[in-house]
Amino acid sequence: MPNRPRLRLAPSLLSADFGALARAVRAAEDGGADALHLDVMDGHFVPNLSFGPALVAAVRARTRLPLDVHLMIEDPGRYAEAFRRAGGDTLVFHVEAKGPPAEVVRTIRRTGAAVGAALRPDTPWEAVEPIADELDQILVMSVHPGFSGQAFLPEVLPKVAQARARLDRSGHPEDVSIDGGITPATAVAAAKAGATFFVCGNSAFTGGPVAANLARLRAAVEEGARGAVR
């Protein structure tokens, strides 16, 4: 039986009330989050702007949860050190951004952060395959990056399964992360396909108390993982 990482939920602060971010961080932590996901957007790599290292540092000062920093930016290597200094535990770069990817991995690794590589929905698994052994996380995007609250794209599920199969074979229990449109229903499917790290924006922060939302998501990922292909 391959050794897989435990199932983790990472609320995405992009869906929180930016005017009361400290309260959202506390609600996520008290509500059972395993990590926080922070979406950095530069207006070039994606058609939206969000925040930079100063906000990551402010969040770092208010929680002990691991910070998963998703860099949707054109030049991740250039800013890796700044996001690490701000308190990012894992820096996730896009393989479609300025590279080459193996070089970006080394640059992030030198900062002391854990390294994740992300794939847009239409980027094939093969784009990350050559560096898979160097990574701590593979993030499969299940919406087009840039905005929270979009619908899950089920066509990415085979890519989750490919990533999971490859990591299981390698014997390294790294995370396969799924990001975008995660609800209790889609979380079951993603967990079945082999995801272990679930980014949840709207489904964590809207439609009720965060703790209750996370409890529903937790039950869903556990149900999905019980049916996972091994």
Residue 39 or 42 with smaller CB distance to ligand DX5: 39
Residue 148 site contact among ligand DX5, Zn ion, none (CB < 5 to 8 Å, cut-off depends on kind): ligand DX5
Nearer to Zn ion, 10 or 131 (CB): 10
Least distance in angstroms from the C-beta of 37 to ligand DX5: 6
**Does residue 175 carry a catalytic annotation?**
no
Considering 34, 39, 68, 136, which one is annotated as catalytic? 39
Closer to ligand DX5 by Cβ: residue 14 or 56: 14
How far, in Å, CA of 23 to CA of 25, rounded? 5
182 binds, among Zn ion, ligand DX5, none (CB under 5 to 8 A by kind): ligand DX5
* Distance in Å, CB of 230 to ligand DX5, minimum: 27
Minimum CB separation of residue 10 from Zn ion in Å reads 9
CB of 165 to Zn ion, least distance (A): 23
160 binds, among ligand DX5, Zn ion, none (CB under 5 to 8 A by kind): none
Q: Which residue is nearest to ligand DX5 (CB)?
A: 201
Q: Which does 146 bind (CB under 5 to 8 A by kind): Zn ion, ligand DX5, none?
A: ligand DX5
3-state SS, the chain, equals CCCCCCCEEEEEHHHCCHHHHHHHHHHHHHCCCCCEEEEEEECCCCCCECCCHHHHHHHHCCCCCCEEEEEECCCHHHHHHHHHHCCCCEEEEECCCCCCHHHHHHHHHHHCCEEEEEECCCCCHHHCHHHHHHCCEEEEECCCCCCCCCCCCHHHHHHHHHHHHHHHHHCCCCEEEEECCCCHHHHHHHHHHCCCEEEECHHHHCCCCHHHHHHHHHHHHHHHHHCCCC
Distance between CA atoms of 156 and 140, rounded to whole angstroms?
7
179 is catalytic: yes
Nearer Cβ to ligand DX5 (96/165): 96
Give the total residue count for the chain: 230
Interface residues toward ligand DX5, by CB under 6 A: 12, 14-15, 37, 39, 70, 143, 145-150, 179-182, 199-203
> Which residues have a catalytic role annotated?
39, 179
